[in-house]
Amino acid sequence: MAVSVNEAVPASPVRDRTPPARRIGGGGRGRSVLEIALLTVLAVVMLFPVLWMIETSIKENRDVYAVPAKFVDFQVTLAHYRDVFVDPGGGRSALSVAFLNSVLVAGVSTVLATLLGVPAAWAYSRFALKAKKDQLFFILSTRFMPPVVVVIPIFLMYRQVGLIDTPLGLILIYTAFNLPFTIWMIKGFVDEVPAEYEDAAMLDGYTRLQAFRKFTLPLLVPGIAATAVFALIFSWNEFVFAIFLTSSDDVRTAPPAIAGLIGGTTVDWGLVAASSVVFALPVLVFAYLVRRHLVAGVTLGAVRR
Amino acid sequence: MGTVTAQGLSKSFGKVQALDGVTLDVPDGAFFVVLGPSGAGKTTTLRAIAGLTKLDAGSVHLDGRDATGDAPADRDLAMVFQNYALYPRHTAYENIASPLRARGRPASEIAAAVDRISGLLHIERLLQRRPAQLSGGEMQRVALARALVRSPRAFLMDEPLTNLDLKLRVEMRTELTRIHRSLGATFVYVTNDQVEALSMADQIAVLKAGRVQQVGTPAEVYERPANQWVAGFVGSPPISLLACRAEGDRLIGAAGWSLPRPGWTTAEDGRPLLLGLRSEDLSVEQRGDAALPGELYGLEPLGDRTVVDVRVGTDLLKVKARPTISGTPGERLLVTVDLDRAHLFDASTGQSLSAATR
C-alpha cells in the first residue's frame, strides 16, 4: 500500500503521480537509445566488481590467478563457500562464527534502537518540550563526526568498564549510533500522521499510550520497517568500531573477519570473494523485501498530502 | 446533566497568547456557539474543555465538579473534529463503535447503538467502507455518528461544517439543530461563520484574540453588540461605521452631515464617536427626518435584495434595497436612517454607548 497515512483527512487530491518523462526534441527513439547506452555503460561499471566477486568465489584457485584472466572458461567449484562455513580441520569455521556474531550484534542493536527510538520520536513529534529544536539538534550532532574520530576515547572508556571485546560493547555502540538516525527518521513519519487520531481516541476513552498504540503505531509500520533496515545495514556493515573494539575470533563480526583474510603471505581470494558474497546477501534480501517502504522513507517529504 | 463551566482559561503558545482569561458558562442542554475569526482561540478553548490542551491558568468544571486535571477519557465528552479524524484503517462501523469499545461495552450493545445512530444519520449503507472511500459529507456524518453513539455529558464540535460545500452545510445546519432538539444534550459548537452561529445557537460567545467580547443570545449579539468589533463581525453585509460627535441635540458627522441625536445615548458632547448602521436600518427608497446625503458608489445585486453602496464623505454605507433598484454611480441620493436601531460606540475604546435597556 501507499505510504499516505492521513487517508481520512480531506485535503486536496493526492498528487503523487509523477508526470511522464519529458522528451526533448522530436527524436524520442534516438534519445531512448542513447539513454539505454549510457545506462548500460553505468551498469557495467557499477556491477563489474560485483560480477568479478561472484566469479572469483566460484573459481578454482589456479583460475583465480590465471593470466590473462578467465571470464567464462573456468572450472566451477563451491569449495570456497564450504570453506566459509566449515573449518578445513573440521568443525565450525572462524568466519561462520563471525557471521553469527554479526547477526547477533546487528539484530539486537537494531531492535534496541527501534524500541528506544519510536517512543522518543513520538514524544518529540507530539509534545511541547523545552528547547525541543536544540535537543533534536544535539541528538543529530552525535552523527556529525565519523566513527573513527571517537573510536579512541570510546576504546579507553570501554577498557575501563570491561566492554572491550564483548558483543554487548558493540551492541551498545551501534545502538547509540543508530538512535539519532532512528529518532529523526521516525519523527518524520509521526509528523505525517495527524495528531487528531490520538485526540479522537482519547475522547473515545483510551489513554494516551493506548491511543498511540492502537491508532498511530499501525500507521507507522512501513516507516519503522524502512528505518530499521537502514539501522540494520549500518550495524551489519560497520567496520571501524568492530576492528578497534574486538580482537578475539569468538566476538569479532564479519567485516573485520573478512578483512583479516587479506594479508599474510598468501591471500585466498576465492575465500575472500565467497565470504563477501555471503556477507552481502542478507542486506540485499532485506532491502529487496522492504524496497517500497525504503523508497517511501527516503523520499519522505517529497510527496505532499 | 451537562453543564460546562470554563473559568479564566489562559494559554500561550510561545509568544502568542491564545487564550487570555476566557470564561464561559454553558448551561445544561444549551446549543452554545463559540464564534470568532480564525486565531481567536476558539479551538484552543474547545481543546481545553476536552482536556487535550494543558492550560497555563484557569479551570474547567463539568457538572459543577472540577475536571481541570482530568484525562480526556475521564471527562465523558464527545468531540467532532474539523478534519473529522476518522481512523483511516478502520471501517465506518469500527469508527463509530470505537467510543463504546474503548469503554468495554458488550458487542450486542455496540451493534444496537451503531445501528440506531446510523439510522438517525442515514449512513447505514456506508458502514463497511473505510474513510478513504467516503465523500466529505459522508465522513462528516460518520464523525458525527462517532460522537453521538454515546450519551456523553456534552458534545464538543470544532467547526464540523467548515469543510462541506455550501448546500450540504445548510442541510447539516438544519440536521444538527434537529438532533440537538431531539437529544436535549449540551452542545459546545465552535465556528467562524456568523450565519451558523445566529441560526443554530441558543447562546453565542464571541471571541477575539483570546478574550470573550460578548456572551448572549443571537438576538442580543446582533441587536446590541457590546462593542464596535462585535458589531462589525456579526452581520452581513458588515455594519457601516461613521465617525461623528454629539453636540447638543445633534450628531455631527466628520464628513459634515448632521442627524438628530438619539434619545437613548448618554455620550457627552464633543467625545469622538462611531455611529453604527446596519444595512437593513438604512433606506434609499423611503423618506424620513433623519437622512444622510451621499452619492451612489455601486450596486451589489444578491438576488433577493440589492446592497447599495453609498459614499458619505469618505465613508461607505451599505444599504439594503429591493432587488430591482437601479441607479448610476455618482448620482446624488439621501439615505434615510432608522435612528432607533442605530448603534453608538466610543471611537477610542470601541465600547458600545447604547443604553443596555433599549
Is B250 domain-assigned? yes
Grid cell listed for A145: 563526526
Contact across the interface for B88 and A219, Cβ inside 8 Å: yes
Is B77 domain-assigned? yes
Is B353 domain-assigned? no
Domain boundary among B211, B229, B247: B229
Bigger pLDDT: B188 or A28? B188
Taking residues B135-162, what's their average pLDDT? 93
Q: Is B40 helix (H, G, I), strand (E, B) or coil?
A: coil
CATH of the domain at B305: 2.40.50.140
- Is residue B214 domain-shared with residue B282, that is, in the same domain? no
What length does chain B have?
Answer: 358
- Is residue B219 domain-shared with residue B328, that is, in the same domain? no
Distance from CA of B135 to the nearest CA of A (A): 9
Average of per-residue pLDDT values in chain A = 85
Please report the pLDDT score of residue B318 as a whole number.
Answer: 93
Q: Work out the burial of residue B36: count CB atoms within 10 Å of its CB; fewer than 13 is exposed, 13-18 middle, 19 or more buried.
A: buried
Is B203 domain-assigned? yes
- Is residue B62 domain-shared with residue B119, that is, in the same domain? yes
Q: Is the ipTM above a cut-off of 0.90?
A: no
Taking residues B46-56, what's their average pLDDT? 94
> pLDDT of B264-276, one tens digit each?
777 778 888 999 9
Is B355 domain-assigned? no
> pLDDT of B217-258, one tens digit each?
999 999 999 999 999 999 889 999 999 988 888 888 888 888
- Is residue B235 domain-shared with residue B127, that is, in the same domain? no
Of B67, B85, B101, whose CA–CA distance to A204 is shortest? B101
Please report the pLDDT score of residue B3 as a whole number.
Answer: 94
* Domain range annotation of chain A: 89-298
Distance from CA of A212 to the nearest CA of B (A): 12
Structural domains in chain B (count): 2
Please report the pLDDT score of residue B20 as a whole number.
Answer: 94
Q: How confident is the model at residue A116 (pLDDT cuts 50, 70, 90)?
A: very high
Taking residues A213-235, what's their average pLDDT? 90
A89-298 belongs to CATH 1.10.3720.10 = yes
Is B46 domain-assigned? yes
Is B114 domain-assigned? yes
Tell me the C-alpha distance between B339 and B349, whole Å: 22
> pLDDT of A266-292, one tens digit each?
888 999 999 999 999 988 888 888 777
CB B160 within 8 Å of CB B173: no
Q: What one-character-per-residue DSSP string does A48-103 give?
A: HHHHHHHHHHTB-HHHHT-SSPPSSSS-B--HHHHHHHB-TTSSB-HHHHHHHHHH
Grid cell listed for B112: 444496537
Please report the pLDDT score of residue A29 as a whole number.
Answer: 59
Cis amide linkage into residue A13, ω under 30° from 0? no
Contact across the interface for B131 and A205, Cβ inside 8 Å: no
Q: State CA A305 to chain mean position distance.
A: 28
Taking residues A26-33, what's their average pLDDT? 65
Residues spanned by the domain of B221: 4-229
Taking residues A96-115, what's their average pLDDT? 95
Distance from CA of A232 to the nearest CA of B (A): 28
Query: Could you tell me the pTM of the whole model?
Result: 0.81
Taking residues B280-297, what's their average pLDDT? 88
Tell me the C-alpha distance between B209 and A29, whole Å: 63
Whether A71 shows a pLDDT value over 70: the answer reads: yes
- Is residue B200 domain-shared with residue B237, that is, in the same domain? no
- Is residue B237 domain-shared with residue B186, that is, in the same domain? no
Is B351 domain-assigned? no
Chain B residues inside the 8 Å CB shell of A200: 79, 81, 85-87, 98, 146
Identity of the residue in A7, A10, A203 whose CB atom sits nearest the CB atom of B72: A203
B255-267 burial: b if 16+ Cβ within 10 Å, else e: bebebebbeebeb
CB B206 within 8 Å of CB B213: yes
- Is residue B216 domain-shared with residue B239, that is, in the same domain? no
What percent of chain B has a predicted confidence (pLDDT) above 90? 71
What angle do helix axes A291-298 and A217-237 make, rounded to 10 degrees?
100
Taking residues A103-123, what's their average pLDDT? 96
CATH of the domain at B180: 3.40.50.300
- Is residue B64 domain-shared with residue B79, that is, in the same domain? yes
CB B336 within 8 Å of CB B284: yes
- Is residue B190 domain-shared with residue B257, that is, in the same domain? no
